[in-house]
């Protein structure tokens, strides 16, 4: 029994190798003379009869370091064939069916019987896990679909943290910057003391401006800050780690008073000037 399993896995492994070779030929890393026109009718003919990949549901993935990644493979007309996952680097057979073949237990194949999805789950992905992964079906000859996993580590920061002090009545301007993001975050939301900020609240004067690009910046503006605006503010990009700052609204001088104060000091320097002038004239 054990030997037959061994033979089976060896056979699967050989198939995996074969597929990698086929893939390399197709991607052009190995010279081959077969023009594409002769290959495609062949592929089409097999896909009508047997299993084929739903490529729109089996795409390249960008994952965050440490956040479980899922590479999906949707196989139609699978029948009783086995789906395996192979990593191109080092040509590693990772999973066979739902069985994890590699000793690296971070890899696991997930399949629900009602679905056509065979998902490779990678727990605690690291940057070195980036590369080509291939979903293979044990037909004769075997077929495979390769996908790229890119593991990245974006950095989120809020300028001026971890503690920020602003005067009551002034405008709070929090600037959140997201760097090394594989693509601009599709969504950035802000929370105040763990509650999502509502830009249409009765409080008013709260707005957000987001500039997406290689570096994405989100400005949270809160006008006429009051004591209730104090607390923890967190910027949550949908594809990067959140970042938190603590804002302290100070009961210091009211800006109106400060304005009055500056007018006063202007007045007093004017009077000082006139005193000087008077002194100058009188001497």
**Which positions touch ligand NAG (CB under 6 A)?**
59-60, 80, 148, 159, 173, 175, 219, 221
Dist. CA 196–CA 216, nearest whole Å:
20
Nearer to ligand NAG, 55 or 123 (CB): 55
CB 215 within 8 A of CB 178: yes
Query: Cβ closer to ligand NAG: 131 or 267?
Result: 131
Burial call 222-255: b when 16+ CB within 10 Å, e when fewer: beebeeebbbebbbbbebbbebebebebeeeeee
Per DSSP, what are the bridge partners of residue 145?
135
We find the least distance from the C-beta atom of residue 174 to ligand NAG, in angstroms, to be 8
Shortest CB 38 distance to ligand NAG, Å: 22
User: Which CA distances in Å does 135 have to 47, 68, 91, 96, 200?
Assistant: 16, 18, 13, 10, 47
d(CA 73, CA 133): 11
- Least distance (Å) from ligand NAG to the CB of residue 110? 21
Smallest gap from residue 106 Cβ to ligand NAG (A): 22
Nearest residue (CB) to ligand NAG, 149 versus 240: 149
- CB of residue 265 vs ligand NAG: minimum separation in angstroms? 25
CB of 263 to ligand NAG, least distance (A): 24
The residue (of 148 and 152) whose beta carbon lies closer to ligand NAG is 148
Kindly state the greatest CA–CA separation across the chain. Answer: 119
Is the Cβ of residue 132 or residue 189 nearer to ligand NAG in the bound state? 132
* Identity of the residue, 18 or 132, whose beta carbon is nearer to ligand NAG in the bound complex: 132
CB of 128 to ligand NAG, least distance (A): 17
Q: Which is nearer to ligand NAG, 211 or 277 (CB)?
A: 211
């Amino acid at each position: 029994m054990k030997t037959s399993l061994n033979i089976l896995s060896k056979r699967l492994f050989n198939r995996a190798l074969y597929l990698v070779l086929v893939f390399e030929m197709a991607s052009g890393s190995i010279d081959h003379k077969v023009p594409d026109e002769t290959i495609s009718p062949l592929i089409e003919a097999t896909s009508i009869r047997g299993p084929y990949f739903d490529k729109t549901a089996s795409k390249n993935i960008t994952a965050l370091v440490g956040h479980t990644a899922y590479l999906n493979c949707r196989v139609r007309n699978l029948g009783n064939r086995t789906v395996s996952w192979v990593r191109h680097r080092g040509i590693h057979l990772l999973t066979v069916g739902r069985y994890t073949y590699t000793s690296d237990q971070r890899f696991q194949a997930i399949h629900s019987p009602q679905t056509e999805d065979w998902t490779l789950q990678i727990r605690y992905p690291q940057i070195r896990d980036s590369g080509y992964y291939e979903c293979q079906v044990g037909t004769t000859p075997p077929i495979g679909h390769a996908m790229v996993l890119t593991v990245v580590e974006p950095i989120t920061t809020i300028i001026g943290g971890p503690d920020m002090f602003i005067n009551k009545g002034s405008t709070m301007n929090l600037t959140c910057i997201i760097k090394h993001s594989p693509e601009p975050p599709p969504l950035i939301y802000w929370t105040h003391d763990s509650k999502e900020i509502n830009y249409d609240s009765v409080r008013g004067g709260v707005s957000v401006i987001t500039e997406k690009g290689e570096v994405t910046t989100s400005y949270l503006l809160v006008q006429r800050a009051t004591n209730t605006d104090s607390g923890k503010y967190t910027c949550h990009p949908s594809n990067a780690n959140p970042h938190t700052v603590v804002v302290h609204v100070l009961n210091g001088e009211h800006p109106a008073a400060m304005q009055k104060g500056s007018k006063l000091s202007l007045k007093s320097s004017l009077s000082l000037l006139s005193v000087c002038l008077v002194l100058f004239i009188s001497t």
